[in-house]
Amino acid sequence: MARLWHGAMVVGLLAGCGGAVAGGGVAGAGSGVAGAGSGVAGAGSGVAGAGPNLQTAPGWSPASSAAASALDAGVAAAELKGGALVVVATADWCEPCNELHHRFLDTPAGQTALASHVLREFDVDTSTGNAVAAQLRVLGYPTTLVLRRHDGQLVEMGRVEGFDSAAEYQHTLQELLAKTTAIGWCAEPLPAALPASTEPQVVLPVLRCAAASLRSPTADGAALVLTAFVDDPARWAAAAQWPETARVEVLGAVRLLGRYQTRVRGEHLLCAQTFGAMLAFAGTPDQGKPGYHYWRAKCLLRGGQPDAARHQLEGLLRDKANAVGTAELVADFVVHEALKQPWGPAWAQALLNAVLAQKPDNHWAHYLLGTLHTKAGRVQLAKDELALALKLKADSAIYARHLAQLQLIR
């Protein structure tokens, strides 16, 4: 399902790898587009023409220096071709990232579309790739950014977040590649503080702007605005009484704040607090809570509190004791995040066994079990599980790619 950001206006919700990223618009899911126009009020902040300021971004490190060098070399190569630098932030374990490759980047159509430009892919699980993603304020995977150099500064024409269909992706990418002016994040500057009113029609435009601005060079100021909203008990309580569509926007904006805190700032425990606030929010629908548990556990684990992370997930399992989908979600977390913990491998195995006992045709559970076997060095068992996953979902790019990688191991 698609999320389009036409102009700079967010009109949906990105569901990327590891959960959902909100852009501050109407709820939806799937891929997203930013920067096809000059900016629409309420969609973001930042000054048109302002680009990624790599040397002054938070967390500067040798990896950040390597990231800046890689981006500078990429844009220089693009300039020689008279085109743009196209950056794709991706991960091997990310399902839509694999789909993007299989259905567009590795196809003749994709190669033709990018022939006059320079493509650079960065694996976010490497130090340089993670630094590039943080410096460019990437909040979900895959994210495709179109960059050019203006007056010596690296500037962003726009971005595509997620992947839905090759046709939609290609259409939007071509729009961004044709641009020569930087994305405008807002028609009006983001206020330095929240308005005094607690009425949704007054507050929501500011929250939308702040949420989308987390991708912009003024992201830190946007984060302060959103944090002030969450930390104000009166505002938080008032928002819980807003109409449902307004509450959805609030949760989308705050969800994006949590991702910014962990993926860009590395403030993992602040991220855990943010998702904890979302769980406690009186306006949070039950169907959204498992994902917030997942992200709170992720941030606790990354913040050095593995036991608290496990406790968070155990509480989710108790609340949803009969939900196979919840067990699958927790197993996904353990396989991708916690196998290095003493409790990780055995817990993942038990959860997946339970899921498959009830739903033996659950292809994602077979894939997760295959991944578990792969990481444990049980190659033949991994091949068997991935082959079964692919049999159950023959068009899956991630199953096919991972199985092909295993077939190379003798």
- pLDDT tens track of the chain, all 410 residues? 333 333 332 323 333 464 332 233 322 333 454 443 333 223 333 333 334 444 444 444 567 788 889 999 999 999 999 999 999 999 999 999 999 999 999 999 999 999 999 999 999 999 999 999 999 999 999 999 999 999 888 999 999 999 999 999 999 999 999 998 888 887 788 998 999 999 999 999 999 999 999 999 999 999 999 999 999 999 999 999 999 999 999 999 999 999 999 999 999 999 999 999 999 999 899 888 999 999 999 999 999 999 999 999 999 999 876 789 999 999 999 999 999 999 999 999 999 999 999 999 999 999 999 999 999 999 999 999 999 999 999 999 999 999 999 999 87
Does residue 72 fall inside a structural domain?
yes
b/e code 159-194 from CB counts within 10 Å (16+ = b): bbbbbbebebbbebbebbbebeebbbbbbeebeeeb
Which of 145, 178, 211 represents a domain boundary (last residue)?
Answer: 178
Instruction: Identify the pLDDT of residue 17.
Output: 64
The total of other beta-carbon atoms located within 10 Å of residue 243's CB is 10
CATH number for 381: 1.25.40.10
Asked if residue 398 is part of any domain, the answer here is yes
From 155, 178, 201, the end of a domain falls on: 178
In the block, residue with structure tokens 């705050």:
254
Looking at residue 142, the DSSP 8-state letter turns out to be S
Rg (CA), the chain: 21
Q: Is the peptide bond before 285 cis (omega within 30 degrees of 0)?
A: no
**Among candidate residues 113, 146, 178, the one where a domain is terminated:** 178
Task: Give domain status of residue 305, yes or no.
Answer: no
In a domain, 285, yes or no: no
Domain around 404: 336-410
| 3-class DSSP state of 219 | helix
How many structural domains are present in the chain?
A: 2
What is the spatial distance between Cα 353 and Cα 384, in angstroms, rounded to a whole number?
15
In a domain, 226, yes or no: no
- For 399, the token pair is 């199953």
From CA 378, how far away is CA 339, in angstroms rounded?
15
Task: Give the pLDDT of residue 44.
Answer: 32
Helices (H), 303-378: 306-319, 324-337, 344-358, 363-375
Token code pair at residue 280: 């406690």
H/E stretch holding 45? none
Q: Is residue 410 part of a domain?
A: yes
**68 in any annotated domain:** yes
In a domain, 157, yes or no: yes
CB 39 within 8 A of CB 7: yes
Q: 135: domain CATH number?
A: 3.40.30.10
